Structure 1
Amino acid sequence: MSPTDTIIALATPQGISAIAVIRLSGAESISIVQSCFHGKALSGQPSHTIHFGSIRDGSTIIDEVLVSIFRAPNSFTKEDSIEISCHGSMVIVRQIVKLLLARGARLASPGEFTKRAFLGGRFDLAQAEAVADLINAETDNARQAAMNQMRGGFSQEIQKLRDELVHFASLVELELDFGEEDVEFAKRDDLRKLIMQIKGYLLSLIQSFDEGNVIKNGVPTVIAGRPNAGKSTLLNALLNEERAIVSDIPGTTRDAIEDEMVLEGINFRFIDTAGLRETKDVIEALGIERTRERMKRASLIIYLFDLSQTTIDEIAAEEENVRHLGIPFIKVGNKKDLADPQLVEVLKSHDFIFISASTKDNLQELKDRILSSFHVRTVKAGDVLVTNIRHYQNLSRTNDALDRVLLGLDISQTGDLLAMDIRQALHYLGEITGVITTDDLLENIFSKFCIGK
């Protein structure tokens, strides 16, 4: 595939809709569309104009369409681009795409439009990644965080840090040219002060990742417990719909059932799982093994105890098993209306929440406890949050490199070794915004985008 090819893809979701939008980008996009468009001569039309006409294969009219023209460099990709708005029948979409492929376009790869925008200098790599985050945003907080990043707030902060480091790096490098004269262009006290300032800001960004990750990706929350503890009933009660099958027969749930719910701007992905017990049933045993794997990967576990059938010793043993996972968990005593009052009294001092999932009694207290486990503020315009694991890893590596610079200053390390660690820090910061890239890095990032974006 050549970066000079004219690419084409459906930009709207697959399926029947009122309209569909087919996007082309590349030097030949206008002439390719013109070859089968009946209406105004597109080659003579200015940028950012829309034209009515029909797409025809010879004498056969495929559809009446609107064609939007975006001329380079004033388009998303900074190339000549066309968007065809047609009726949303997949038959029509397929025929138009097939026709334009035959006229010289090729199918776009995932994220290729945004990749071209990045390579063309429309925005940096961090902003390009924010485009995908904005498309996938499921809460207003996630939308605002992605919007802030796409508008360059995060990139500007990273560039500021990098510019300050570049200045000192150049002075240290300059010293190497005068090694025999024992000159010091980069004052070590000033360098230490700068490194400490940069580290202070880096740490605030690194620490923001826990919050940013919750905002972007939500919270995978596993509902676990023994068979018939009421896990499926609780999932249905939380979602306020009959999402999972509820039965008195133990082992009904064989595989995980998932659904999402937004609580005060946080997207929680609740996962109902197979009941934990010893069993000879092969299928149920597979479900139980998957439950244990889900629990290890969860950000939060809601562990249900059936208060109508569980003893205090059994509760203590199950609690210890969950604690060993090292995952935050909430202890929930279900069927409190059927419980022994003495058992409830004992468990009150063990940080339990008591509910009745079948009657939805005390669910609000459980929701409040779930929310209290994750402190997320409302994201406002201009807030800088780290939401991307790649950015978090590069910031952490930058911080480690700066730690090595400080250690070098403490032991009066030579300028060439200081310069090497400063260059490492600059490298990791440059990878965030795309100042430093590799083909593998770009392929990994843009392959995760949807086709047509």
Structure 2
Amino acid sequence: MPRHQDPIVAVATAPGRGAVGIVRVSGRSLQALIHTLCDKVLTPREATYTGFLDAQGVAIDHGLALYFPAPHSFTGEDVLELQAHGGPVVLQLLLARCLEAAGQTLADARPTLAHLRLALPGEFSERAFLNDKIDLTQAEAIADLIDASTEAAARSASRSLSGAFSQEIHQLRDALIHLRMLVEATLDFPEEEIDFLRKADALGQLSKLQQGVLAVLQKARQGALLREGIKVVLAGQPNAGKSSLLNALAGAELAIVTAVPGTTRDKVQQTIQIEGVPLHVIDTAGLRESDDEVEKIGIERAWLAIAEADAVLFLHDLTRLDATEYIASDAAIARTMTQKLPQNITILDIWNKADAAPSQVPEHGVVVSAKTGVGLDVLRHQLLQLAGWQPGAEGIFTARARHVTALRRAQDHLAVASQHLAQQAQALDVLAEELRLAQNALNQITGEFTSDDLLGVIFSSFCIGK
């Protein structure tokens, strides 16, 4: 695409003040721009302390300049990094100066760096992908590493960035290509009496390939969980202890807790981690009939949050289990949940206020005390089970929903291929097609076969300058 030929520039550090800020340029033949900005020749891959000059030759700032000539750079193009003091004004002045200097003419009337423009979000990483410096899973891992909300998520993103996920996909793809070669050979030489597939143990190869896809899929599910976490909504009647439970799980006073029913009138959200898995816990307004307009809006928002949850913790007050009206209201909420919620949303009954309740408690669900912490460890364990987390899993890499979908698609095609392989020569052409489709699904993960539309969606979610 034409825009990929343009040189680009952006501030590569986060907005705001900091000790150091970086302005990054990527393109072809940056030597003229470097001379205009720094008035010296930079030694490749060596930090040089210099002034960054304005149009009059006066230093805007002094800092380190780094030059990485193509193809030995992050993007595969020439890359210049200006490391200055991290003030927003200084960085904007340097950014503007880069654009201004690019438009200056050289002695032969050529511009210093024609068509230099501001980079789009993720465009540096996109250039790295397009120039075969990284594959698509590694590019996505850059964003995942930046966005990681837990230590486990950061470590898994780092594994993906180092190529662990890509390596497993490439191994599966290579095995699949070898199996396709055997099938195509049988199709190309039907007159031969040699049974290529039987002698090469094609059925055994396909079975091993299916096992390999399943193993990678299980890791990918865990990786997607580390990246995205699950959304857990606290629901129940007023004063059931939802806000207290949120505070207890988070270990901080996030939500206001009073004895007045209806204190919580809007959603309060906090991300916590359990064994490195992020859980996005949402406290909601108490569910009841109300004439208060503000509270009614809060209750409507509560039901919307419940409908979008991965799991709902339905809180019950153990101290009110003998109150007829309270029991009837809980039953009405339960009926509404059953009617409104999709079947894939798990509802877990939480019996709160165990510290003030009689010894007789319900047998199902989890009994807790948000006040004393009793039962919280059991609840955390239940939440991990709801999320599908497998404790102690090794070598997990970060993954996204699209990766899991592609692996499932490959799994489905291999399952159909296995059925056709059992039919021998009668269905070899269909078998070959199923294997080709399985390979396409794997190729989409690393980007060997990926639409431009998908690339646009992926890289537009990156920060500018990355």
Q: CA deviation at 1:103?
A: 2.7
2:161 is the alignment partner of 1:135: no
2:335 is the alignment partner of 1:335: no
1:73-130 residue CA offsets vs partner (Å, 9 max, x unmatched):
2211121111111111111111111121223331111111111111111122222222
Call closer, same or farther: CA 1:169–1:141 in 2, change over 3 Å.
same
Q: CA deviation at 1:331?
A: 2.4
Call closer, same or farther: CA 1:372–1:418 in 2, change over 3 Å.
closer
Question: Can you give the 5+ residue segments of structure 1 that lack an aligned partner in the other structure?
Answer: none
1:22 partner amino acid:
V
**Candidates 443, 447, 450, aligned match of 1:437:** 450
2:364 is the alignment partner of 1:350: yes
Q: CA deviation at 1:20?
A: 0.9
Asked whether the 8 Å contact 1:386–1:392 carries over to 2, the reply is: no
Q: How does 1:337-416 map to 2 (within 5 A)?
A: 337-339=355-357, 341=358, 345=360, 347-357=361-371, 363-371=376-384, 373-374=386-387, 375-378=389-392, 380=394, 383-385=395-397, 387-412=399-424, 413-416=426-429
Call closer, same or farther: CA 1:203–1:320 in 2, change over 3 Å.
farther
Higher mean C-alpha deviation, range 299-308 or range 390-399 = 299-308
2:95 partner amino acid:
V
What is the DSSP-based 3-state SS (H/G/I as helix, E as strand, rest coil) of the residue aligned with 1:9? strand
Q: CA deviation at 1:5?
A: 1.6
1:385-427 residue CA offsets vs partner (Å, 9 max, x unmatched):
4622111111111111112212222334333222211111111
Call closer, same or farther: CA 1:143–1:231 in 2, change over 3 Å.
same
Which residue in the other structure is 1:268 paired with?
279
Determine the C-alpha separation between the residues in 1 that align with 2:351 and 2:415: 48
**Candidates 425, 433, 442, aligned match of 2:438:** 425
Call closer, same or farther: CA 1:371–1:2 in 2, change over 3 Å.
closer
Call closer, same or farther: CA 1:183–1:119 in 2, change over 3 Å.
farther
1:131-187 residue CA offsets vs partner (Å, 9 max, x unmatched):
2212222222112211222222222222122122222323333444445x3656641
Call closer, same or farther: CA 1:418–1:364 in 2, change over 3 Å.
closer
Q: How does 1:118-267 map to 2 (within 5 A)?
A: 118-179=129-190, 181=191, 186-188=196-198, 190-267=201-278
Higher mean C-alpha deviation, range 106-115 or range 319-328 = 319-328
Which residue in the other structure is 1:78 paired with?
76
2:124 partner amino acid:
F
Asked whether the 8 Å contact 2:286–2:299 carries over to 1, the reply is: yes
What is the DSSP-based 3-state SS (H/G/I as helix, E as strand, rest coil) of the residue aligned with 2:172? helix
Call closer, same or farther: CA 1:26–1:149 in 2, change over 3 Å.
same
Asked whether the 8 Å contact 1:215–1:376 carries over to 2, the reply is: no
Which residue in the other structure is 2:459 paired with?
446
Call closer, same or farther: CA 1:338–1:3 in 2, change over 3 Å.
same
Asked whether the 8 Å contact 1:229–1:304 carries over to 2, the reply is: yes
Q: How does 1:104-123 map to 2 (within 5 A)?
A: 104=102, 105-123=116-134
Call closer, same or farther: CA 1:364–1:396 in 2, change over 3 Å.
closer
1:181-232 residue CA offsets vs partner (Å, 9 max, x unmatched):
3656641572222111111111222233442222222232211111222222
Higher mean C-alpha deviation, range 18-27 or range 371-380 = 371-380
What is the DSSP-based 3-state SS (H/G/I as helix, E as strand, rest coil) of the residue aligned with 1:242? coil
Q: How does 1:294-305 map to 2 (within 5 A)?
A: 294-305=305-316
Asked whether the 8 Å contact 1:12–1:21 carries over to 2, the reply is: yes
Asked whether the 8 Å contact 1:205–1:385 carries over to 2, the reply is: no
RMSD (Å) for aligned C-alpha atoms? 2.6
**Candidates 27, 33, 50, aligned match of 2:47:** 50
Determine the C-alpha separation between the residues in 1 that align with 2:450 and 2:10: 26
Determine the C-alpha separation between the residues in 2 that align with 1:392 and 1:79: 32
What is the DSSP-based 3-state SS (H/G/I as helix, E as strand, rest coil) of the residue aligned with 2:4? coil
Asked whether the 8 Å contact 2:135–2:446 carries over to 1, the reply is: yes
2:17 is the alignment partner of 1:12: no
2:59 partner amino acid:
I
Q: TM-score, normalised by structure 1?
A: 0.88
Determine the C-alpha separation between the residues in 2 that align with 1:361 and 1:170: 61
What is the DSSP-based 3-state SS (H/G/I as helix, E as strand, rest coil) of the residue aligned with 1:377? coil
Call closer, same or farther: CA 1:2–1:287 in 2, change over 3 Å.
same
What is the DSSP-based 3-state SS (H/G/I as helix, E as strand, rest coil) of the residue aligned with 1:224? strand
Q: CA deviation at 1:364?
A: 4.5
What is the DSSP-based 3-state SS (H/G/I as helix, E as strand, rest coil) of the residue aligned with 1:162? helix
Q: CA deviation at 1:7?
A: 1.0
Call closer, same or farther: CA 1:231–1:30 in 2, change over 3 Å.
farther
Q: CA deviation at 1:329?
A: 3.7
Question: Can you give the 5+ residue segments of structure 2 that lack an aligned partner in the other structure?
Answer: 103-115
Aligned residues: 441
Higher mean C-alpha deviation, range 365-374 or range 272-281 = 365-374
Asked whether the 8 Å contact 1:205–1:386 carries over to 2, the reply is: no
Q: CA deviation at 1:2?
A: 2.2
Determine the C-alpha separation between the residues in 2 that align with 1:379 and 1:367: 18
Determine the C-alpha separation between the residues in 1 that align with 2:185 and 2:99: 55
Asked whether the 8 Å contact 2:242–2:315 carries over to 1, the reply is: yes
Asked whether the 8 Å contact 2:159–2:398 carries over to 1, the reply is: no
1:29-62 residue CA offsets vs partner (Å, 9 max, x unmatched):
4432431325xx13xx322111112223233432
What is the DSSP-based 3-state SS (H/G/I as helix, E as strand, rest coil) of the residue aligned with 2:464? coil
Determine the C-alpha separation between the residues in 2 that align with 1:379 and 1:98: 49
Asked whether the 8 Å contact 1:63–1:87 carries over to 2, the reply is: yes
Q: CA deviation at 1:338?
A: 4.6
Determine the C-alpha separation between the residues in 2 that align with 1:435 and 1:177: 26
Determine the C-alpha separation between the residues in 2 that align with 1:13 and 1:401: 44
Determine the C-alpha separation between the residues in 1 that align with 2:376 and 2:188: 70
Call closer, same or farther: CA 1:443–1:279 in 2, change over 3 Å.
same
Asked whether the 8 Å contact 1:332–1:354 carries over to 2, the reply is: yes
Call closer, same or farther: CA 1:237–1:198 in 2, change over 3 Å.
same
